[in-house]
């Protein structure tokens, strides 16, 4: 009997592909070519499963091109690239890779907090440009991390990881805002205090965004919110582009209405708003918060577990629309 066919849209670890090949005919984008929507539609036609990443938009058009499709397994915890309603209507299961990237992403969130607060990349550029010719009392003075108020917008797993690092590692005063309040136990573990969004914006010295992207969180940080922050505050986004209005942020940075920003995600990435590229008080990284070798391996393996679990054993590990599994 021939094996079911699946598509792997991006280059991933050869070991993961070898494992998938034990169960499936695998079409693998080994060259990591950039596929536009038409190419994705062409490649996904006839496949029963797809191993996707955050850059692959799975919408009604793609689904229409793949009538046999039963599962899209995202190698990411975020899944705003999936039109889940359209997938459910077509009885296509979506899965993601939660938990395995929590601590790595929280580490990186903290790396950006530190890099922007202590002006690490800005001062490095200065040194590399040969501009450092003497010590001066206020050269690249930043803001403190220890003892400062860490604000977290979106208090899921990654937000809690960042809170724990801030509270336990740096003695920060941690405040957060979230759709729902954490249990008392979790708040105690993170030493975090629930506040309104207004208080969060007003009081945070370092504000970290870790909320999922949805139409409700679109431009959760725009001109109005930036105006509520302290001029000495920093902003870090390790969640999704689109949560921040990048044009408004670039303007606020240029006008020094906030002190700095650390951004790993952008509206319309991999394109970056040109104004963000020209302001000095920003640290920009290309969506690498989960990029350590062990974590990327764990994400790839979990996406493969979901494909094998569902297509071979009828039991996915991380179903996003479990209603598809019934009947
Ligand atoms: C991925 C991410 O690198 O997990 C997520 O939601 O944003 C990142 O870890 C990216 O989405 C590729 O799939």
Q: Which of 77, 108, 240, 263 to mutate to test the pocket of ligand 1 (most atoms within 8 A of CB)?
A: 77
Q: pLDDT by residue (tens digit) across 130-141?
A: 999 999 999 999
If one compares 147 and 1, the residue with the highest pLDDT of the two is 147
5-98+293-324 and 102-284 have identical folds: yes
Q: In angstroms, what is the span from residue 289 Cα to ligand 1's centroid?
A: 8
**Cβ-contact 189, 172 below 8 angstroms:** no
pLDDT of residue 217 exceeding 90, the answer is yes
Average model confidence (pLDDT) for the chain? 97
**Cβ-contact 231, 257 below 8 angstroms:** yes
Ligand 1 atom having least distance to the Cα of 289: 9
Q: Which of 73, 75, 80, 106 to mutate to test the pocket of ligand 1 (most atoms within 8 A of CB)?
A: 75
pLDDT at 133: 97
Number of alpha carbons in the 13 Å side-chain half-sphere of residue 112:
33
pLDDT at 22: 98
Closest residue by Cα to atom 6, ligand 1, is 78
Q: In angstroms, what is the span from residue 72 Cα to ligand 1's centroid?
A: 15
The β-bridge relationship of strands 71-74 and 93-95 is parallel
H or E, element range at 189: helix 184-190
Q: Which of 8, 52, 54 to mutate to test the pocket of ligand 1 (most atoms within 8 A of CB)?
A: 54
Concatenated DSSP letters for 23-82? TSEEEE-TT-PPP-HHHHHHHHTT-SEEEE-TT--B-HHHHHH-TT--EEEESSS--TTB
Ligand 1 atom having least distance to the Cα of 105: 9
pLDDT at 254: 97
Closest residue by Cα to atom 5, ligand 1, is 76
**Residue 287 Ramachandran class (φ > 0 left, ψ -120 to 50 alpha, else beta):** left
Share of the chain above pLDDT 70, in %: 100
Residue ranges around ligand 1 (CB below 6 Å):
53-54, 75-78, 101, 287, 290
Q: In angstroms, what is the span from residue 291 Cα to ligand 1's centroid?
A: 9
pLDDT of residue 68 exceeding 70, the answer is yes
pTM above 0.90, yes or no: yes
Q: Which CATH superfamily is domain 5-98+293-324 in?
A: NAD(P)-binding Rossmann-like Domain (3.40.50.720)
pLDDT at 327: 56
Q: pLDDT by residue (tens digit) across 147-175?
A: 999 999 999 999 999 999 999 999 999 99
Give the count of beta carbons closer than 10 Å to the beta carbon of residue 183.
Answer: 9
Question: Strand pairing partners for 95?
Answer: 73, 319
Ligand 1 atom having least distance to the Cα of 96: 4
Closest residue by Cα to atom 8, ligand 1, is 76
Ligand 1 atom having least distance to the Cα of 52: 13
To the question of domain 102-284 being in CATH 3.30.160.20, the answer is no
pLDDT at 307: 98
Instruction: Provide mean pLDDT across the span 17-38.
Output: 97
Closest residue by Cα to atom 10, ligand 1, is 54
Q: In angstroms, what is the span from residue 182 Cα to ligand 1's centroid?
A: 24
Give the count of beta carbons closer than 10 Å to the beta carbon of residue 204.
Answer: 26
Alpha-carbon Rg for the chain, nearest whole angstrom, is: 21
Q: In angstroms, what is the span from residue 287 Cα to ligand 1's centroid?
A: 8
Instruction: Provide mean pLDDT across the span 101-126.
Output: 98
**Catalytic residue list:** 240, 269, 287
Ligand 1 atom having least distance to the Cα of 288: 3
Q: pLDDT by residue (tens digit) across 249-307?
A: 999 999 999 999 999 999 999 999 999 999 999 999 999 999 999 999 999 999 999 99
Residues 6+ apart with CB under 8 A from 112: 236, 238, 262, 263, 264, 283, 285
Q: Enter the DSSP assignment of 128.
A: H
| Cis-peptide into 36, omega within 30 deg | no
pLDDT of residue 83 exceeding 70, the answer is yes
pLDDT at 1: 73
Assembly ipTM: 0.96
Q: pLDDT by residue (tens digit) across 299-320?
A: 999 999 999 999 999 999 999 9
Q: In angstroms, what is the span from residue 75 Cα to ligand 1's centroid?
A: 7
CA distance 48 to 52: 13
Return the domain boundaries, the chain.
5-98+293-324, 102-284
């Amino acid at each position: 009997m021939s094996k079911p066919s699946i598509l792997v849209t991006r280059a991933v670890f050869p070991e993961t592909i070898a494992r998938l090949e034990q169960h499936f005919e695998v079409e693998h984008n080994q060259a990591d070519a950039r596929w536009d929507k038409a190419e994705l539609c062409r490649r996904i036609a006839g496949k029963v499963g797809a191993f996707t990443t955050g850059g692959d938009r799975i919408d009604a058009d793609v689904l229409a091109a793949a009538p046999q499709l039963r599962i899209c397994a995202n190698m990411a915890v975020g899944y705003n690239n999936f039109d889940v309603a359209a997938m459910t209507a077509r009885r296509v299961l979506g899965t993601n890779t939660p938990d395995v990237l929590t601590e790595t992403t929280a580490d990186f969130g903290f790396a950006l907090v530190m890099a922007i607060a202590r002006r690490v990349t800005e001062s490095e550029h200065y040194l590399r440009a040969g501009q450092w010719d003497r010590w001066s009392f206020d050269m690249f003075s930043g803001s403190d991390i220890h003892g400062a108020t860490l604000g977290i917008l979106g208090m899921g797993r990654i937000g809690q990881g960042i809170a724990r690092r801030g509270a336990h590692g740096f003695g920060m005063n941690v405040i957060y805002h979230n759709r729902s309040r954490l249990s008392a136990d979790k708040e105690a573990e993170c030493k975090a205090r629930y506040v309104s969004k207004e208080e969060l914006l007003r009081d945070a010295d370092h504000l970290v965004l870790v909320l999922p992207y949805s139409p409700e969180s679109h431009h959760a940080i725009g001109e109005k919110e930036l105006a509520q922050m302290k001029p000495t505050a920093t902003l870090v986004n390790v969640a999704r582009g689109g949560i921040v209005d990048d044009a408004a942020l670039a303007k606020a940075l240029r006008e020094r209405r906030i002190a700095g920003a650390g951004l790993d995600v952008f509206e319309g990435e991999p394109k970056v708003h040109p104004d963000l590229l020209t302001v000095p008080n920003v640290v920009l990284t290309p969506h690498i918060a989960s990029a350590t070798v062990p974590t990327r391996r764990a994400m790839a393996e979990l996406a493969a577990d979901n494909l094998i679990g569902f297509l071979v054993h009828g039991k996915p590990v991380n179903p996003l629309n479990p209603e598809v599994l019934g009947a």
